[in-house]
Amino acid sequence: MKTRLMLAASLALLSFSASQAAPTRGGSMVVSYKDDVTTLDPAIGYDLQNWPIEKMLFDGLLDYEVGSTKLAPRLATAMPKVSADGRTYTFILRPGVKFQNGRELVASDVVYTLARVLDPKTKSPGQSFYTGIAGAQAFIDGKAKTVSGLKAAGKYGVAITLDAPNAAFLNIMAMNFAYVVPKEEVAKAGADFGHKPVGTGPFKLTSWPSGQQLVFERNPNYFFQNLPYLDKVTVKVGLDPSVAFLSLTRGEVDLLGDGIPPAQFLQVVHDSKYKANVLQRTNVNTSYISLNTGVGPLKDVRVRQAINMAINKTKVLRIINGRGVLAKTYLPPLMPGYDVAEMGYKYDPAAAKALLKTAGFPNGFDTVLYTTSTDPNPRIAQSLQQDLAAVGIRASIKSQAQSTVVEAASTPKTAAMVWSGGMAWTQDFPDPSDFYWPILSCKSAVQGGWNWPFFCDKALDARADKADQMVAPGQSAARLKEYAGIFSALNKQALWVPIYHEVRYMMKSDRLIGGLPELEDPIHNIVYERLSVTK
């Protein structure tokens, strides 16, 4: 009896210490995706799928600590020095970092990379994040040959000067658009650089038969010598999610890049044998109904508030099998600046009807609700339609392709209500300014913008501008409080009906070693360089 206890204890101790040991180096993994990878050019490729893959091939000056939203230096030796006026950032690069073609990375490469993102010819989606750099607009307009605010200071020094201080600037420097690219490789490949990428990253791309798979192999000269853990990563594309699921259970695929397919979700989540294979985290995004302040009755804030009170959000969560967390406001709970005291509008159809009567609509009114046509969004739209009908609002549903919904939503006075299903507003970086400027500011309330309520309050814009200039280290708490106030004011305007924040489920095989930090990283989702497999 005593020997058995001793044996059990020593085994437990052994396994505990083994799990604390460094991950095994070597081995390979397979990840599957439904959609093809469009491009691996970090200046252009910007979606949930290709961003983590670009992180395999490239590096930026800054990065985030794995599994967190804390910034850390990557190609830079340390966090940058900031000038007294808060406008100039000086980075010192690590010496000896090599591109995968053998050449050492130097300061002029960083200047080249950022200028390339600004260059209209690159067609970079990230261009507008960097227009705050001094001289950027002149460069874009063709009035200057270089960007005056981007300077190389010696071989390893980079000085970036902004037009005005921006508290989110370091987050912007950690985005994929700022991953450094070698000028000569871009010149050689031209527009095909996205399919022949060369960076400094922990992996290099060794093969990519179109439409089938991408194969990445360890970069033996990577400057972080302990990374990556894996020798090889194979990205299979075009695989139907249900077939990919079958492959995972057979051990042919190690990670479902798109998460658990909806068809198998309930089965997997309730099966205890898959408990260790499933990870979940609430996304930093919000799915909402946008209410167009330029269309008919929605011009009246009371009508918009009534709509907020009419929607049964729990019913919507049931339609998506509980893969979401009820939303009370614009910001997701994990976004800095989120106010836990914000209660939003309570579900109260009677109060909604009363408010509509006060606003002059005792018999409701007719309106149109847009939705994308991919499941489950039409079903969600029907649920919303029912809730609106219960308070007298007769909403007809327009179910269309995503590109068409976006076009209608971003045209003034066109789409009264738009269900954002499939197009949840997701953070570009963990800062509340990212949930203000692109979607709720005066600047974005124009044709083609993403401010679908077409709301413009110049006073709020000024407040947000002032908040973004609070860059001194001690001011960050005050800044977040200011943004909480801005969003509280926006809540009173009821421009959205925030419905839920998505919960992302990842499913991995038994042999893949990775936890929440590596597989549900809040910024990059999957951090391939830190994944490993059992021997």
* Residue nearer to another protein on the CB measure, 161 or 441: 441
Among 100, 247, 305, 491, binds another protein (CB under 8 A): 247
Contact letters (x/-) for another protein, 455-494, by CB under 8 A?
----------------------------------------
* Residue nearer to another protein on the CB measure, 414 or 491: 414
* Residue nearer to another protein on the CB measure, 206 or 314: 206
Q: What is the DSSP letter of 162?
A: B
Report residue 278 as tokens: 């499933």
Among 401, 462, 477, 489, binds another protein (CB under 8 A): 401
In the complex, what is the shortest distance from the CB of residue 36 to another protein, in angstroms, rounded to a whole number?
A: 6
In the complex, what is the shortest distance from the CB of residue 210 to another protein, in angstroms, rounded to a whole number?
A: 4
Size of residue set near another protein by CB under 8 A: 60
Q: Which of helix, strand or coil describes residue 422? A: coil
Q: Which of helix, strand or coil describes residue 11? A: helix
Using CB atoms within 10 A of its CB, is residue 17 exposed (0-12), middle (13-18) or buried (19+)?
exposed
In the complex, what is the shortest distance from the CB of residue 438 to another protein, in angstroms, rounded to a whole number?
A: 6
Among 15, 101, 108, 131, binds another protein (CB under 8 A): 131
Phi/psi of residue 393, nearest 5 degrees: -90, 120
In the complex, what is the shortest distance from the CB of residue 104 to another protein, in angstroms, rounded to a whole number?
A: 28
375 binds another protein (CB under 8 A): no
* Residue nearer to another protein on the CB measure, 212 or 282: 212
386 binds another protein (CB under 8 A): no
128 binds another protein (CB under 8 A): yes
240 binds another protein (CB under 8 A): yes
Report residue 444 as tokens: 């974005």
In the complex, what is the shortest distance from the CB of residue 29 to another protein, in angstroms, rounded to a whole number?
A: 16
b/e 510-525 (16+ beta carbons within 10 angstroms → b): eebbbeeebbbbbbbb
Site for another protein in 140-169 (CB under 8 A): 140
Contact letters (x/-) for another protein, 36-75, by CB under 8 A?
x-xx-x--x-xx----------------------------
DSSP 77-117: SSSPEE-TTS-EEEEEBPTT-B-TTSPBP-HHHHHHHHHHH
Looking up tokens 């814009």 gives 461
Among 95, 154, 448, 515, binds another protein (CB under 8 A): 448
Q: Which of helix, strand or coil describes residue 269? A: helix
Distance CA 383, CA 78 (A): 51
444 binds another protein (CB under 8 A): yes
433 binds another protein (CB under 8 A): no
H-helix or E-strand spanning residue 295: none
CB neighbour list of residue 238: distance below 8 Å, 6 or more residues apart: 33, 34, 35, 36, 211, 212
250 binds another protein (CB under 8 A): yes
* Residue nearer to another protein on the CB measure, 300 or 407: 407
Q: What is the total residue count of the chain? A: 535
Among 161, 410, 509, 532, binds another protein (CB under 8 A): 410
194 binds another protein (CB under 8 A): yes
Strand locations in 45-192 (E)? 62-64, 71-73, 81-82, 88-92, 150-153, 157-161
Distance CA 35, CA 90 (A): 39
* Residue nearer to another protein on the CB measure, 158 or 256: 256
Among 53, 167, 307, 406, binds another protein (CB under 8 A): 406
Are 381 and 399 in contact, with CB atoms under 8 Å apart?
yes
CB neighbour list of residue 328: distance below 8 Å, 6 or more residues apart: 342, 343, 344, 498
Among 6, 13, 78, 191, binds another protein (CB under 8 A): 191
Phi/psi of residue 288, nearest 5 degrees: -150, 165
In the complex, what is the shortest distance from the CB of residue 448 to another protein, in angstroms, rounded to a whole number?
A: 5
Report residue 297 as tokens: 């009755």
Secondary structure, 3-state, 495-520: CEEEEEEEEEEEEECCCEECCHHHHC
Among 25, 125, 134, 359, binds another protein (CB under 8 A): 125
In the complex, what is the shortest distance from the CB of residue 252 to another protein, in angstroms, rounded to a whole number?
A: 6
Count of alpha carbons within 13 Å of 178, Cβ hemisphere only?
21
Q: Which stretch binds another protein (CB under 8 A): 84-92, 312-320, 436-444, 474-482?
A: 436-444
| CB atoms near residue 437 (< 10 Å) | 19
Contact letters (x/-) for another protein, 197-216, by CB under 8 A?
------------xxxx----
Point out which residues bind another protein (CB under 8 A). Answer: 34-36, 38-39, 41, 44, 46-47, 120-121, 123-129, 131, 140, 191-195, 209-212, 236-240, 242-243, 246-247, 250, 252, 401-404, 406-408, 410, 423, 425, 428, 434, 438, 443-444, 446-450
